[in-house]
A and B are shown apart, each in its own frame.
Chain A
Amino acid sequence: MVERVSPLGEAFRPGTYGNLAEGPGVTLTEATPAAIAEASAFPGSTEPLLAAIETVTGLSLPATPGAGAVGDGAAVFAIGPGRYLVSGAEGLSASLQAAVALDIGTVTDLSHGRAALRIAGPRAEWVLAKLFALDFSPAAFPVGEGRATAHHDVFAHIQRTGGDQFDIYVFRSFARAFWQELCAAAEETGYEVG
């Protein structure tokens, strides 16, 4: 299998940067799920679609807006009504495709089309709040849930994958520019790449 090349290129430079007076406030890295797919239900078919997602990933979640779940090597969250972004193991799209009947919904492979950038650390909410008009507090944005938003021209699907950890899925072509923006926003708190 040919290796999938990161879109970040030389913009990804491990090390510590910015104001490190209180240590790096966040860690920035690229989450590299083996596969990413979008699974969408036709109106009224969200439940069977979620059942198919559960069959494939083992993750169950309610059919409510913003719902999501994080598991070992897989994650899923709503990016629109009946629309889910799923990440998981190699062959994810084919497995989902097989599990989703024609009149239930559709599956589109996005393994190459999206890059997942990960920000973690005590200042993650602060740094993200510079870029997105979302309430990142744990009460408003619990672990597992997802949001669809945009930073200027860059669409972003964001999932809280931990207490102070977020995965931001962006279009691959924007990944490097957004990564640089993320790094710039984190200079104030100091950041570690790696």
Chain B
Amino acid sequence: MLIPCPHCGPRDVSEFSYQGDATRTRPDPASTDMKAWHDYVYNRPNPAGPHREYWQHAGGCRVHLLLTRDTLTHEVQAVAFARAGLNEGAGKP
């Protein structure tokens, strides 16, 4: 499986670390809503099909990427830097 890193170009998946589901949002740090925290830390949708997830290019530019990956085919349908501020002006190497 190849992941097209917006900085490094397509690289083998072995250079990347899976960093989890990107559909969840972290509750406000001071929140005491335990259900929200449990959903954030433990509950995952596990869809068969397109899934938004974080991958870190750990063996490359170290940046976290936000991927939409089809869990049935491994097709990467969309990729961007997770940190929105980095996406401006990003081209292929």
Contact = CB atoms under 8 A, between A and B. Distances in A.
Verify whether A and B have any Cβ pair under 8 Å.
Answer: yes
Interface of A: 42-44, 46, 63-66, 78-83, 133, 145, 147-150, 155
Contacts of A63: 89
B8 A65 contact: yes
Contacts of B89: 46, 63
Contacts of B61: 79-81, 83, 148
Contacts of A80: 7, 60-63
Contacts of B91: 64-65
Which of A42, A43, A81: most chain B Cβ within 10 A?
A: A81
Interface in B51-68: 57-63
A150 B59 CA distance: 5
Given A44-B85, A46-B89, A148-B61, 7 more contacts: A43-B88, A65-B8, A78-B7, A80-B63, A81-B81, A133-B11, A147-B93
A148 B8 contact: yes
What bracket does the count of chain B residues touching chain A fall in? 20 to 34
A17 B57 CA distance: 36
A148 B59 CA distance: 7
B4 to A, nearest CB: 12
A65 B11 CA distance: 14
Q: Which 9 A-B pairs have the closest CB atoms?
A: A43-B85, A66-B93, A150-B59, A80-B61, A65-B93, A65-B7, A148-B60, A81-B86, A148-B61
